[in-house]
Amino acid sequence: MSVAINIDQVIKRYGKLTIIPGLTEHIRNGEFFTLLGPSGCGKTTLLRMIAGFNTIEGGKIRFNDQVINDIPAHKRNIGMVFQSYAIFPHMTVRENVEYGLKLRKMPKAEMKEKVDKILDVVQITEYQDRLPERLSGGQQQRVALARAIVIHPSVLLMDEPLSNLDAKLRVEMRSAIREVQKQVGITTVYVTHDQEEALSISDRIAVMKKGEIQQTARPHTVYTRPYNIFVSTFIGHSNLFRGRLQEAKDGLKAVFADGYEMPLTTLGAEASPGMEVIISVRPEEFSIQPEGKGVRCRVHSKVFLGKYINYGLEFPEEMLVPGQPSIEFSQDLGHAEHMLEVGDTVTLRPNPMKVNVFSADGSHSLMEGVVQNE
């Protein structure tokens, strides 16, 4: 039976080094929950704590109401899918999938029924008599997935399972994993550093940085209404501008450093006239406008990416938050009236309904209704 996972003020230390300083999160029964963050942020460490592979130095982890801190890994009823597949090379596909059921001494007839069903669910029935060496990477990962879920675990844990696959196969397999998870309904915790993967596969995403969760929300929310600058720039690309809030006829407006004024109707109660702010604009939130109707910049690079063109932009230094790798504008070729060239000067209007506005230190959003945990 699938369970909810309650993580309460959990601490992980290695000697004097604290990796996770006191993390709290609730993972709902049956949901596909992704831990997303850069390398070294603690996401795999947290996954291994849930699995029982790492000790817990403080706090509690519960499956429903049962504290599992001191329950050994083999008694937690978890399924685990690793980056390296970890399937037995000397066993056929069917033998690999049967392995966990044999350890549980399941009767042969019942075992055959369960294995037949799960092979069908992950679409590898036709390969059941092959050895792993005769399978593609995607097929091997399907075997690992089938072996993990055939035992009907309470929780399915997946640690960067697609990182060894090529780009096309990754897209195919993430759809397959999501479809299988929907069918079996097991609470799934998925670890990845790939933002696109997390956005496409998850019910909710927890974005991590240095052992702390920055925001937990649905994929659409973390992309369109990030809680802070880290989430805004880690998930997708965001261009960060300096600005100040001023009174406007119908509320407030953001004034860019070059004087361009953008009326805003989606700010929260904390926003007030005179505040220094950071204005975050995603590349696709710009539109080309006549002079005086937006911010002026120069095109310094142009990259053709099929459905759209990505332009690198130059702005006066005083307009920008320092330390950004690039300032970008994405032009959808399906709607473009004309294309820009390197060296062009252009006026771009940020979409006031889509931009995000943050406190001057970038620690939190000033937009209406933005929450850290959804």
Rounded Cα–Cα distance for residues 19 and 219 (Å): 26
Query: Which pLDDT score, from 0 to 100, does residue 24 have?
Result: 97
Rounded Cα–Cα distance for residues 308 and 51 (Å): 42
Nearest to 143 by CA among 129, 157, 154, 160: 129
User: How do beta strands 32-36 and 204-209 pair?
Assistant: parallel
b (16+ CB within 10 A) / e for 262-288: bebebbeeebeeebebbbbbbbbbbeb
Mean pLDDT by 10 residues, the chain (374 residues): 95 94 97 95 95 95 96 92 83 91 88 89 89 88 86 90 80 84 91 93 97 97 97 96 94 95 95 97 95 95 94 97 96 87 96 97 96 94
Q: To which H or E segment does residue 174 belong?
A: helix 167-184
What is the domain partition of the chain in residue ranges?
A: 5-229, 238-359
Structure tokens at 129: 């008599």
Query: Which pLDDT score, from 0 to 100, does residue 218 have?
Result: 97
Query: Which pLDDT score, from 0 to 100, does residue 128 have?
Result: 92
Domain 5-229 has CATH 3.40.50.300: yes
Q: What is the pTM of this model?
A: 0.90
